[in-house]
Amino acid sequence: MKKIIIINGPNLNLLGKREIDIYGKTTLTEIQKLSINKANELNIDLKFYQSNSESEIIELIHKVQTDFDGLIINPAAWTHTSVAILDALNAISQPKIEIHLSNIYNREEFRKKSITSNGVNGIICGFGSLSYILAIEAMNSLLDN
């Protein structure tokens, strides 16, 4: 069975309560349930995490090398600022997909630059909670090839 991890960055625990016009009404718990259902459908063992701590996110990325076949990450605000997360992504060899609920290229100027995308195979953004489902399907295909 394929093992993948979804790591969510800062403030995503507030989904459904913050900036609903940008991020929608779906909570992270609801996204987790949708993600687990899709993973089960594809016979994937999925772990789902969220942290507001950059160091915890980096530690989780390090575990991918030994514990998982692939990584899906929504680095949230660290997308635009974290060289440390980029370095952690570059340190692992498994397939990696970056996701975002909103279209970061259709937002404020500072959000249009993704530092972390330099360390992943591809990026999916702008589809709300569907971004997670699309990423799971894409990861499944990457791992099959």
Q: Output the 3-class SS for 15-80.
A: CCCCCHHHHCCCCHHHHHHHHHHHHHHCCEEEEEEECCCHHHHHHHHHHHHHHCCEEEEECHHHHH
In degrees, rounded to 5, the angle at the alpha carbon of residue 94 between the alpha carbons of residues 57 and 67 is 65
CB 50 within 8 A of CB 27: no
Query: Which residues participate in catalysis according to the annotation?
Result: 23, 100
